[in-house]
Amino acid sequence: MTIKKAIIIIILLALGAGVVMYFYGKRMAVYEVSQTPTAVEQAVQQAKLKAEADAWDTAIKKTQSEDKDFDGLKDVDEAKYGTNPEMFDTDKDGLSDGAEVNLFKTNPMKADTDGDGKKDGREILDNTDPNKK
């Protein structure tokens, strides 16, 4: 290879590297700018977060107004079943009043619905039926 050809190759490689670095640098600059939120985007994000927090507060207040003890049984239904609207588990068997009525179909006023000597919550943990002896 002649010196002339070697110089041309070096110049072409240098130019090629320069072009690549130029476009790579531009792409990185665009990426960095696009990843930095503007003041408007930050304000929008903060407004969304505040709206979400307000929605949660409203939902909790509504739930609390309908179910003071958060046991899954509305206060009006607690009166129907005779359970305490201020106690999560009226019969203290390990199951919430709402779970007993809505899920397991057990008596929320009796710790041992089927009378077999095991509390309803223990029977659920043992994978036995709290409604059958």
* Mean pLDDT, rounded, of the chain: 84
Q: What pLDDT shows up at residue 3?
A: 81
**pLDDT tens by residue, 60-107:** 777 777 898 989 999 999 999 999 999 999 999 999 999 999 999 999
Q: What pLDDT shows up at residue 39?
A: 85
Determine contact, residues 103/113, Cβ cutoff 8 Å: no
Give me the residue spans of the domains in the chain.
Answer: 1-36, 37-66, 75-125
Cα end-to-end span (Å), the chain: 98
Q: Which value, in Å, is the radius of gyration of the alpha carbons in the chain?
A: 34
Query: How far apart, in whole angstroms, are the C-alpha atoms of residue 44 and residue 34?
Result: 16
**pLDDT tens by residue, 7-64:** 777 776 766 666 666 666 655 555 555 567 788 888 888 988 888 888 888 877 777 7
Q: What pLDDT shows up at residue 128?
A: 93
Determine contact, residues 88/97, Cβ cutoff 8 Å: yes
Q: What pLDDT shows up at residue 90?
A: 96
Query: How far apart, in whole angstroms, are the C-alpha atoms of residue 64 and residue 99?
Result: 17
Sign of the CA dihedral running 37, 39, 44, 50: positive
Q: What pLDDT shows up at residue 104?
A: 94
Q: What percent of the chain has pLDDT over 90?
A: 47
